[in-house]
Amino acid sequence: MSLPEASPLAGTRWQLAMIEAEGRTTRLDPAQARRHSLAFREGGALILQLDCNRGQARWSLDAGAPGAAILTSGPVASTRMACPGPNFADLAALGGSQARITTQGAGRLVLEAPGRRFTFLPAD
């Protein structure tokens, strides 16, 4: 059952802190983190800040294994401005897919998709 309104994610905003992909780990500095974020709105709207671009999608959360769930997001509709590097717009690749979502300790959100792992911290 998908209930964004009942989810503890609804009403929260997260900044991207780290990406693990292809055997590499990229840690974002605070300025980069502020430009790459997810906001889970009540009612299932997902708002993305993708560097100098903004995006929107729908989201739902389904129960998974204990301590984890499956986040499903619809395709991301976003602006397509050419942002100065480095940017981490591959965050938009989560759109139209499913990701395993877990929390690690207080205030850490992890999304795992095939070949990628995104770690988020609460936004200021």
- Dump the DSSP string for 85-114: SS--GGGGGGTTEEEEEEE-STT-EEEEET
Across all residues in the chain, what is the average pLDDT? Answer: 80
In this prediction, residue 69 carries a pLDDT of 80
Prediction pTM value: 0.80
Band (2; pLDDT cuts 50, 70, 90):
very low
In this prediction, residue 90 carries a pLDDT of 63
Average pLDDT of 94-107?
Answer: 70
- Name which residue leads in pLDDT, 101 or 14: 14
**CATH topology classification for 4-117:** Lipocalin (2.40.128)
In whole angstroms, what separates CA 87 from the centre of its chain? 15
CA distance 38 to 45: 10
Owner of token pair 């770690």: 119
pLDDT at residue 1 tops 60: no
pLDDT at residue 18 tops 60: yes
In this prediction, residue 16 carries a pLDDT of 92
In this prediction, residue 4 carries a pLDDT of 43
Average pLDDT of 30-52?
Answer: 89
Average pLDDT of 71-80?
Answer: 81
Alpha helices by DSSP H, 2-92: 30-34
| Contact status, residue 96 vs residue 76, Cβ threshold 8 Å | yes
